[in-house]
Amino acid sequence: MPKAPYATDETAETFRPYGVGYVEMACGLRVESRLRESSVGDLRIGMPMALELIPVRRDEDGTELLTFQFRASPETA
């Protein structure tokens, strides 16, 4: 499990590893982001990526909170 301030509803039993990397946008901006793929063998520099929203946890009011991650674009998966 990642250390604080990582705040999710995951437990040690439900946590799934993920990758972290830089994704370059069409405008040239690079974003450090969570990657769905956790295996280095599934990733390559320059591969097309797609943005997706994923649930992280629920707040005290029960509202689902989301974050973003990137995944291999369908053309490369």
Radius of gyration of the chain (CA): 14
In this predicted model, what pLDDT tens digit does every residue of 2-22 receive, in sequence order?
777 678 888 889 888 899 999
pTM, to two decimals: 0.79
38 or 71: whose pLDDT is higher? 71
Q: What is the pLDDT of residue 16?
A: 87
Q: What is the pLDDT of residue 76?
A: 57
In this predicted model, what pLDDT tens digit does every residue of 24-59 receive, in sequence order?
999 999 999 999 988 888 899 999 999 999 999 999
How far apart (Å, rounded) are the C-alpha atoms in residues 68 and 56? Answer: 9
For the chain, what are the domain ranges? 19-72
